[in-house]
Amino acid sequence: MQSKHAKSPCCAAPVRRFGPRRRQCVQCHRTWTIRPKKRGRPLRRTSPALLHQVLVEGYTLGQLFSDRVPVALPAYRYRFRQALRRWVSRPSPQHIPPGPLVLLVDGLWFEFEGIPWVLYLIALKPCRGHQATFLDPLLLPGREGASRWQQAVDAIPVHAKKRTRAVVADNLPGIEKIARHHEWILQLCHFHLLLKLQAPRRRVRYSLRGGSVREDIYQSMRNALSLPPGKRLSQTIEHLQRLSRGDCGTARIKTVLCQFLVDLPFYRSYLAHPNLGLPLTTNAVESMCRLVREMLRSSRAGSNPKSLLLWTTALIRLRPTIICNGHQINRNS
């Protein structure tokens, strides 16, 4: 249906014909065409398969470039960057799982011009499922802390945050405060804890001060993580408390042990809440961190924060899910 009394977009005044394809405002005499052409160079769309080959399969643009491509290599790279920006500028395509959720969080450290930056990765796992879905990452300057992790949590969609029941993380600064604020169950990662003891325990040299004590601490901590409530657990905790009051070999091992005794309930949340299907580690997020590192190494991207966030967001959107099993089918159960 045609408008009989059209108004000009500039002055809202009556419009009159000004040739076969132009119109004019009767008040300010501005003219315009009724069928404007798109300005600029023609848009050359790149196939989404190229993004998958570079970001997921690990190819470089130099390897994919051939004589059949009708442009030079710099223009080929320009088209890829344009396709990458178009892919990231679209709304997030990740499908958030239904039902109660568990958050898996971890940070990946970078440094640009002497300033630390942290890439915050968050995945959502259904309590009764075994597949975690990653959200778009968040890149913030500065070291990890409660305020920055709160910004990452605030970026989670509201409808998903309302269904969150627990969070699985390393013993990050402020993570206990965030979990308490949102009334989430906190499960601390077993892998990061035992990794702190693996370095001095890899080859137990009893000539070193406290070598046998370190091995005793390691085995007792593993028992405290998996034993059910009862007499054996109480005896193990009492044994660790006696060791913490003595000479643990090094000040670092003693600090790890004392902190473990304070945070022991958070390491055993998977036993206190078996219905949530909590994983014992953040290895699913660590796997994504490894994929990000490999992608940046092969593509030589990530020279600045803007490029890093662009490439990482595109990678996560192309492979948004990863297998994440709960403790029911874990070998430590």
Same domain, 136 and 167: yes
Same domain, 72 and 52: yes
Q: Are 324 and 284 in contact (CB under 8 A)?
A: yes
Above 50 in pLDDT, residue 330? no
pLDDT at 138: 93
pLDDT at 285: 92
Above 90 in pLDDT, residue 31? yes
Same domain, 282 and 200: yes
Contacts of 164 (CB under 8 A, 6+ apart): 100, 101, 102, 103, 124, 156, 182, 184
pLDDT at 15: 92
User: β-strands 164-169, 185-188: how paired?
Assistant: parallel
Q: Which among 113, 74, 269, 56 is positioned nearest to 179, based on CA atoms?
A: 269
For the segment 83-95, what is each residue's pLDDT rounded down to a tens digit? 899 889 988 888 8
C-alpha neighbours within 13 Å on the C-beta side of residue 168: 33
Q: Which residues pair with 33 in a beta bridge?
A: 22
Same domain, 204 and 123: yes
What is the rounded average pLDDT for all residues in the chain?
85
Q: Which among 189, 282, 274 is positioned nearest to 228, based on CA atoms?
A: 274
Is residue 328 one of the residues assigned to a domain? no
pLDDT at 184: 93
For the segment 68-86, what is each residue's pLDDT rounded down to a tens digit? 777 788 888 888 888 899 8
Same domain, 234 and 313: yes
Same domain, 54 and 126: no
Q: Which among 210, 288, 294 is positioned nearest to 250, based on CA atoms?
A: 210
Q: What is the mean pLDDT of residues 18-35?
A: 90
For the segment 288-316, what is each residue's pLDDT rounded down to a tens digit? 999 999 988 888 888 899 999 999 999 99
Is residue 142 one of the residues assigned to a domain? yes
Q: What are the Cα distances from residue 295, in Å, to 44, 54, 93, 106, 311?
A: 25, 8, 21, 18, 9
Q: How many domains does the chain have?
A: 3
Is residue 30 one of the residues assigned to a domain? yes
pLDDT at 332: 45
Q: What is the mean pLDDT of residues 41-58?
A: 78
Report the share of the chain in percent with pLDDT over 70: 90
Is residue 41 one of the residues assigned to a domain? no
Above 50 in pLDDT, residue 331? no
DSSP assignment of 218-268 equals HHHHHHHHHPPSSHHHHHHHHHHHHHHTS--SSHHHHHHHHHHHHHHHHHT
pLDDT at 119: 94
Supply the range of the domain harboring residue 30.
Answer: 1-36
Q: What is the mean pLDDT of residues 97-103?
A: 91
What the block records as the tokens of 109 is 């450290």
For the segment 146-197, what is each residue's pLDDT rounded down to a tens digit? 888 999 999 999 999 999 999 999 888 788 889 999 999 999 999 888 888 7
Same domain, 190 and 300: yes
Is residue 332 one of the residues assigned to a domain? no
Q: Which of 26, 59, 89 is the last residue of a domain?
A: 89
What the block records as the tokens of 48 is 């989404």
Same domain, 150 and 268: yes
Is residue 94 one of the residues assigned to a domain? no
Same domain, 215 and 107: yes
Q: Are 249 and 210 in contact (CB under 8 A)?
A: yes
Is residue 333 one of the residues assigned to a domain? no
Q: Where are the beta strands (DSSP E) in the chain?
A: 15-17, 22-25, 31-33, 101-112, 115-126, 131-134, 138-141, 164-169, 185-188, 321-323
Same domain, 71 and 187: no
Same domain, 147 and 274: yes
Same domain, 207 and 312: yes
Is residue 25 one of the residues assigned to a domain? yes
